[in-house]
């Protein structure tokens, strides 16, 4: 087992290095990351996705709880999908594994449970947290994940925020705490060659509503201090990738939510960030209920998102890669 894990670590450390050295435009050329519904590699439902991977039409895939049954099943599924990638650009294999309420690799499926970010920050030092996160990263690397859509670096501005504070997804209300634990999270993942993703830019911690469910306006609750974790983590070299939020903030952009807003993403560029920007799931209610598909694709791409994420969680559409290219005129 130790030998097998060492091989995985070496493989995915090389994947991490490959992304670090890869020109941004080559990675972003794939435009789209998608979810899917199957859990078995030989499920006919995956035939279209396999073809899209072979044609270089997807930047990667994201797995949810229903894609994961056990360690061995997940390992086979990921290895099978990777076998269809015939280019030198690694296929991103991602998951949302934060700990607490948001974890897909649970003990019931043969992995390890981790506490929520809030609980961890309240009960463990950053050094202890890093050890816990090493186990998380080890689990991810062992089955083939090379991307974790975490850590959450939203400040806990509103402890009752339904999708952040109320469910323990924030490390705390102050920048120093959030940065220390986020760095521990990222260091642990880098030890196992797993990329991480800061989210949700430009700050979801003050939101009174859930952007999964519908329009989310933070104009009157957002504070500029919510940018501070990003400024520090970018400056210190801890930003592998950054995910935009579907929050509307009229003080920054009076027309579009952050994911569709060039004004929001310019804030990242002004901080010196030169890496990949990925949208949050474009099927979420804040976007899907308020913008048409063509406008969503055009505005999110023009705003500066390099990869557009479609979870296929809320509804299923197998041809997103082709549809996005058609909208952008890059078929």
Catalytic residue among 139, 154, 253, 280: 280
What gap in Å lies between CA 25 and CA 31, rounded to an integer? 10
Exposure on the CB side of residue 265, measured as CA atoms within 13 A: 26
Tokens of 250: 């009229």
Measured between alpha carbons, how far is 138 from 19 in angstroms, rounded to an integer? 19
Residue 247, classed as helix, strand or coil, is strand
Q: Which residue has the tokens 């694709």?
A: 297
**CA nearest neighbour of 92 among 240, 314, 230:** 240
Are the C-beta atoms of residues 149 and 96 closer than 8 Å to each other?
yes
Cβ neighbours around 88 below 10 Å, total: 8
Q: Given the DSSP bridges, would you call strands 276-279 and 241-244 parallel, antiparallel or unpaired? A: parallel
Query: In whole angstroms, what is the distance from residue 185 CA to residue 125 CA?
Result: 12
| Integer angstrom CA distances of residue 133 from 8, 191, 223 | 17, 10, 29
Q: How far apart are CA 207 and CA 120, in angstroms?
A: 22
Dihedral of the CA atoms 39, 30, 294, 219 (nearest 10)?
A: 90
CA 128/CA 116 separation, integer angstroms: 14
Query: Does residue 264 carry a catalytic annotation?
Result: no
User: Is 280 a known active-site residue?
Assistant: yes
Q: Is 23 left (phi over 0), alpha (psi -120 to 50) or beta?
A: beta
| Residue of 47, 212, 246, 289 with catalytic role | 212
Buried b (16+ CB within 10 A) or exposed e, 126-135: beebbebbbe
| Catalytic machinery residues | 212, 280
């Amino acid at each position: 087992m130790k030998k097998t894990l060492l091989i995985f670590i070496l493989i995915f450390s090389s994947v991490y290095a490959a992304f670090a050295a890869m020109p941004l435009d080559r990675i972003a050329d794939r435009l789209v990351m998608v979810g899917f519904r199957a859990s078995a590699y030989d499920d006919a439902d995956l035939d279209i996705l396999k073809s899209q991977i072979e044609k270089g039409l997807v930047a990667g895939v994201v797995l949810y709880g229903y894609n994961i049954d056990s360690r061995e099943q997940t390992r086979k599924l990921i290895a099978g999908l990777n076998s269809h990638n015939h280019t030198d650009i690694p296929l991103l294999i991602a998951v949302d594994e934060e700990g607490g309420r948001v974890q897909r690799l649970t003990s019931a499926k043969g992995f390890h449970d981790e506490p929520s970010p809030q609980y961890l920050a309240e009960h463990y030092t950053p050094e202890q947290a890093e050890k816990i996160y090493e186990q998380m990263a080890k689990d991810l690397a062992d089955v083939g994940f090379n991307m974790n859509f975490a850590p959450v670096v939203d400040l806990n501005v509103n402890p009752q925020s339904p999708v952040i504070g109320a469910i323990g997804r924030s490390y705390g209300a102050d920048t120093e705490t959030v940065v220390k634990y986020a760095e521990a999270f990222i260091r642990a993942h880098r030890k196992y060659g797993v990329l991480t993703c800061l989210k949700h830019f430009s700050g979801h911690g003050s939101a009174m509503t859930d952007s999964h469910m519908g329009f989310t306006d933070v104009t009157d609750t957002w504070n500029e201090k919510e940018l501070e974790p990003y400024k520090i983590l970018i400056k210190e070299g801890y930003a592998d990738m950054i995910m935009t939020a579907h929050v509307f903030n009229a003080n920054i952009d009076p027309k579009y939510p952050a994911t569709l807003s060039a004004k929001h993403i310019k804030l990242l560029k002004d901080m010196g960030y030169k890496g990949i920007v990925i949208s949050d799931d474009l099927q979420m209610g804040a976007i899907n209920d308020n913008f048409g598909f063509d406008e969503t694709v055009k505005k999110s791409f023009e705003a500066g998102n390099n990869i557009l994420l479609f979870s296929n969680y809320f509804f299923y559409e197998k041809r997103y890669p082709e549809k996005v290219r058609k909208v952008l005129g890059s078929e």
